[in-house]
Amino acid sequence: MAKKSKKSKKKPKKISAKKEKYAKFKKDKPSTINATMPDLTPEQQAQKKMDEEKIARFMRFGRIFKKDDKKGGRKGNKK
């Protein structure tokens, strides 16, 4: 027969000196993040729209086109 070990009395958990020392630097982090976008001015809205158009063009064609650029490639470079 195996002997059953007696459970020791529950002792309060010791907090290490290091944890105690650095506890003041630990901050409570909120469980949910409240991320709301700020209201944009009309200038910022226009800039955002232009940026989104540039990204869409880049994703579609694989390179950046400016509004002034012509999408003709090498036309006119005949030898």
* Cα–Cα distance for residue pair 61/52, rounded to 1 Å: 14
Size of the chain in residues: 79
* Cα–Cα distance for residue pair 37/48, rounded to 1 Å: 13
Quick check: helix, strand or coil at residue 23?
helix
Nearest CA-CA partner of 69 in 16, 20, 58, 7: 58
The pTM score is 0.37
User: How confident is the model at residue 49, as a pLDDT?
Assistant: 96
* Cα–Cα distance for residue pair 49/41, rounded to 1 Å: 12
Residues 46-75 have pLDDT tens digits of 999 999 999 998 888 876 666 655 555 555
